């Protein structure tokens, strides 16, 4: 069975532990990249990552986009929503249903 992880700064993710999710607070770019790689290659089917860290690790995240697992989903951090997570989900849905072909996006 796959597990669910949350990656980001401590203040943004500590509440997810109360929901039973595995939290991985990170402080540096290197630490965040290594954590994401370890989780993606392990038993995690869903990895939530704060938008700010996702922006820093975009090249890492792209390597997993063609795979079924893990699903890497951006979430707002404590600083608020940047809209980046919504844009990536919208594009994924458009590709999945074929509206990118219909509307020429």
CA gyration radius for the chain?
A: 14
Q: What is the DSSP letter of 78?
A: T
Distance CA 52, CA 69 (A): 22
Question: What pLDDT, in 10s, does the model give residues 5-50?
Answer: 999 999 999 999 999 999 999 999 999 999 999 999 989 999 999 9
| Residue 70 phi, psi dihedral angles, 5° rounding | -85, 155
Whether 86 shows a pLDDT value over 80: the answer reads: no
- Cβ contacts of residue 58 below 8 Å, gap of 6+? none
What's the pLDDT band for 54 if we cut at 50, 70, 90? very high
The CATH topology of domain 3-103 is Rossmann fold (3.40.50)
Query: What local confidence, expressed as pLDDT, does residue 66 receive?
Result: 82
Q: Where are the domains of the chain?
A: 3-103
């Amino acid at each position: 069975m796959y597990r669910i992880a949350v990656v980001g700064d401590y203040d943004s993710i500590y509440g997810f532990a109360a929901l039973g999710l595995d939290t991985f607070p990170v402080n540096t770019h290197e630490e965040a990249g290594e954590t994401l790689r370890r989780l993606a290659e392990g038993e995690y089917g869903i990895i939530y990552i704060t938008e700010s860290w996702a922006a820093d690790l975009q090249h890492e995240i792209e390597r997993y986009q063609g795979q079924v697992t893990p699903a890497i989903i951006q979430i707002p951090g404590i600083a608020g929503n940047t809209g980046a997570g919504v844009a990536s989900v919208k594009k994924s849905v458009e590709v999945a249903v074929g509206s990118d072909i219909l509307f020429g996006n």
